[in-house]
Amino acid sequence: MSGNETGSVCDPASKLIFSCSGAADVGEISDRTARKLTKEGAGKMFCMAGVAGKVGAIVEATKSASQILVVDGCGVDCVKKCLENAGFENFQHIRITDMGMEKGKTAVTEENITNAAEKAGKLLS
């Protein structure tokens, strides 16, 4: 793929999901939650780096979304802040640490990912 192609992963969708993919356990749970929701058809995981990097096609696709869900890992809220810094204000936000999972002390298990996906998915209904 050349540098000018965005490919199907970056094509617009009506419901977009942006997630933390940070180094902590809750960042991995956030990322895997977004991937699970995408696989289940609840929405489409989208490129936070593209929005933060002001990649035109990605920003425009994000503007055309009917719904945006942000899944942050912890209270630093990196994803939420990136979207706000890019001018987005109308989105749902959920935080993994608000679900009783503690940063640096939570196992990355299918059970934790499923629990997070169930709670986050309700915001896309």
The CATH fold assigned to 13-124 is Rossmann fold (3.40.50)
Strand ordering across the sheet containing 92-95: 44-45, 15-19, 67-72, 92-95
What is the share, in percent, of the chain residues with pLDDT greater than 70?
90
26 in Cβ contact with 101 (< 8 Å): yes
pLDDT tens for each residue of 89-108? 999 999 999 999 999 999 99
This prediction has a pTM of 0.90
DSSP 77: -
